[in-house]
Amino acid sequence: MLLMVPCCLHKQAGLARHARSAAGKRARLELSPAALKKASMAADSASTVVSRRARMELRELLRARGVVLETARGEMDGVQSRVARRGLQELARVALNKRGLTPPTDEEIAAAIYAAGPKFETLRRLSLLEVVYGDYLELLVLLDRALLLAESGLLVSTCRAFPSAASDRNLAIIAQPDISTAGYSSDDVKAF
């Protein structure tokens, strides 16, 4: 018997995840790492709102200071992500210190919060859909794997393995040999 609970789909090597099953290949199923990351997101993103807001505010503060961000997440260069959970004041202090810059003034903090507000609220509303999108992607990958196992002759079922409170990613595949067609004797069947 095989029990599989997929996790961290975006951490698999490769440029894209291609279908494993014949049905998926016929449908030309291919998921990019960015799409797979959505399937690995937590269903409750409320716990990350403070840090995401602080990061966007920090980007605004750095832009106002004339700091050029080389990457999409450049505001956090050299800063541990958990610092963002403490809010903009602490995050800005640490980030500016890492860059050898003076601490932020109260006016800079207020201006960054004001500048980031509308942008953040727009992105936050859009991100509400990502959780639903992630659930569908997780289901798609799970069903592709289940189909592959079924195509190889196994009896396959899918289910929720445990409550969502335990983990947002809780879909499972259960696969076992089809004892009716595998050439087992009646004694072997009793053993199952």
Query: Given 98, 114, 129, which residue is the final one in a domain?
Result: 129
Q: Are strands 171-177 and 154-160 parallel, antiparallel or unpaired?
A: antiparallel
What is d(CA 75, CA 72) in angstroms, rounded to the nearest whole number? Answer: 8
Whether residues 37 and 54 fall in one domain: no
Are 69 and 87 in a shared domain?
A: yes
Residues 67 and 120 both lie in one domain:
yes
pLDDT at 41: 63
Residues paired with 109 in a beta bridge:
none
Could you tell me if 63 and 31 lie in one domain? no
Per DSSP (E only), the strands in the chain are: 2-4, 17-18, 30-31, 154-160, 171-177
Last residue of a domain, one of 103, 129, 155: 129
- Answer yes or no: are the C-beta atoms of 79 and 95 closer than 8 Å: yes
Single out the residue of 44, 37, 82, 52 nearest to residue 167, CA to CA.
Answer: 44
Asked whether residue 53 falls in the same domain as residue 114, the answer is yes
Q: What is the pLDDT of residue 66?
A: 94
Which pLDDT belongs to residue 46? 63
* Predicted pLDDT of residue 174: 92
Cβ burial of 104 (10 Å; 0-12, 13-18, 19+) is buried
Range of the domain at 105: 46-129
- Does the pTM of the predicted model rise above 0.85? no
pLDDT at 111: 97
The predicted-structure confidence for 158-186, as pLDDT tens digits, reads as follows: 998 888 777 767 888 999 998 776 565 55
Q: How many domains does the chain have?
A: 2
For the chain, residues with pLDDT lower than 70 are 6-14, 38-47, 168, 181-192
Claim to verify: residue 54 and residue 40 sit in the same structural domain: no
User: What pLDDT is recorded for position 9?
Assistant: 66
Taking the CB of residue 75, how many other CB atoms lie within 10 A of it?
Answer: 23
Shared domain check, 187 and 150: yes
Of 106, 129, 152, the residue at which a domain comes to its end is 129
DSSP code at position 86: G
**In 10 A of CB 31, how many CB atoms?**
20
pLDDT number for residue 7: 67
Domain check: are 124 and 52 in the same one? yes
CA distances from 175 to 5, 18, 179 (A): 12, 21, 12
Q: Is residue 18 within 8 Å of 106, Cβ to Cβ?
A: no
Give the CA count within 13 Å in the CB-facing half-sphere of 181.
Answer: 7
> Based on the domain organization, do 36 and 55 belong to the same domain?
no
